[in-house]
Amino acid sequence: RPHETQSKFPSLHAKFHILNKLGDGAFSTVYSANNLQTGAKVAIKVVRRHEMSPSQQACVYKEVCVMNMLARAPHTVNLLDFIDSDPDFFYLVLEHVSGGELFNRIVDLTYFSESLSRHVIIQVADAVRHLHAKGIVHRDIKPENILFEAIPFIPAPPGSESRRLSDEPGKKPEGHFRPGFGGGGIGLVKLADFGLSKVVTGVGTHTPCGTVGYAAPEVVRDELYTKAVDMWAIGCVLYTMLCGFPPFYDDDIHVLTRKVARGEYSFLSPWWDDISPDARDLVSHLLELDPRKRYTVDDFFRHPWIVAGLNSSTISR
């Protein structure tokens, strides 16, 4: 199978050996691969150029441009190379992030402890701080686009009362967690997928995009929107990590859209019963309906629940 795949991508031949598929998107497939010269493992996002209109192809150049602007940020996936010499495909060569999607780890663990949730969200917000400082809005922050470096961890034994990872040192299997990494097998966290990101001017932008469950009210109501949409999405991700399900959900897309537009969510009992008032307070400031009152990334880093974790966190400042 790998050789079959390999032969479809002429420009990769000399430099890369494709290993396996990591993910799929509307116009792209991501593979893991070895760099034949250095031996380094990479991820290659193969974009089906031949299926795209000229304006869609222009978006790929924009994605590359945004990634180049963020080259020095510690919590965004690094673009190592961009190949556009094939008529049928674009290739984005990315650093390989070993643990894959945060999404799958939430599914595996059911939900995260407060310290693990904080460990993750601080790093996502750090990525967003770099983006926003450069006037870039990501617009598609969700657990599928948040990747992590895997570190060893031992999950709770099956049938144990709660699958929740413990915050208590006594219950933590010592030696299996790297100090300062919050446990849960999640090391360095990196934001991926800049395909929808956009450089915004002061006035904001209007193009509807993103995924409805994590889209901000002003997005689904089709109003002008700004950097605040990323902060809303961070609120959705934090909510989801803490309890194991997203703040806005419905099988019917119209009902879901209405709930988001009205900011209709709640801290459902019993799932939220044991979660601290500080954590809830931060979530509620991020899931603030009015984008002008919603927490900015600077507000986020000043919140007590975040400040409490900054000493032991892994982010670079």
User: Would you count residue 28 as binding Mg ion (CB under 5 A)?
Assistant: no
Residue number with CB closer to Mg ion (46 or 261): 46
In this structure, which amino acid lies at residue 244?
G
> Of these partners, ligand ADP, Mg ion, none, which one is at the site of residue 233 (CB under 5 to 8 Å by kind)?
none
In this structure, which amino acid lies at residue 231?
M
User: Would you count residue 101 as binding Mg ion (CB under 5 A)?
Assistant: no
Binding residues vs ligand ADP (CB under 6 A): 22-23, 25, 28, 30, 43, 45, 77, 94-97, 100-101, 144-145, 147, 192-193, 195
Residue nearest to ligand ADP (CB): 25
Binding residue (CB under 5 A) for Mg ion from 145, 226, 257, 313: 145
Burial class (CB in 10 A: 0-12, 13-18, 19+), 206: exposed
> Of these partners, ligand ADP, Mg ion, none, which one is at the site of residue 114 (CB under 5 to 8 Å by kind)?
none
Residue number with CB closer to ligand ADP (100 or 263): 100
Q: Which long-range contacts (CB under 8 A, 24 or more apart) does 128-131 make?
A: 128/191, 128/230, 128/231, 128/234, 128/297, 129/297, 129/298, 129/301, 130/70, 130/73, 130/75, 130/76, 131/70, 131/73, 131/76, 131/197, 131/230
Residue number with CB closer to ligand ADP (34 or 166): 34
Q: Which stretch binds Mg ion (CB under 5 A): 3-11, 145-153, 174-182, 299-307?
A: 145-153
Shortest separation between residue 273's beta carbon and ligand ADP, angstroms: 32
> Of these partners, ligand ADP, Mg ion, none, which one is at the site of residue 313 (CB under 5 to 8 Å by kind)?
none
DSSP code string of 96-146: --TT-BHHHHHHHHSS--HHHHHHHHHHHHHHHHHHHHTTEE----SGGGE
Residue with token string 């441009």:
65
Known catalytic residues are: 140
| Token pair recorded at residue 124 | 């996502």
Shortest separation between residue 46's beta carbon and ligand ADP, angstroms: 10
> Of these partners, Mg ion, ligand ADP, none, which one is at the site of residue 105 (CB under 5 to 8 Å by kind)?
none
d(CA 218, CA 310): 31
> Of these partners, ligand ADP, Mg ion, none, which one is at the site of residue 97 (CB under 5 to 8 Å by kind)?
ligand ADP
Q: For residue 303, how many other CB atoms are within 10 A of its CB?
A: 16
Q: For residue 5, how many other CB atoms are within 10 A of its CB?
A: 17
Binding residue (CB under 5 A) for Mg ion from 101, 126, 193, 218: 193
d(CA 2, CA 21): 9
Binding residues for Mg ion (CB under 5 A):
145, 193
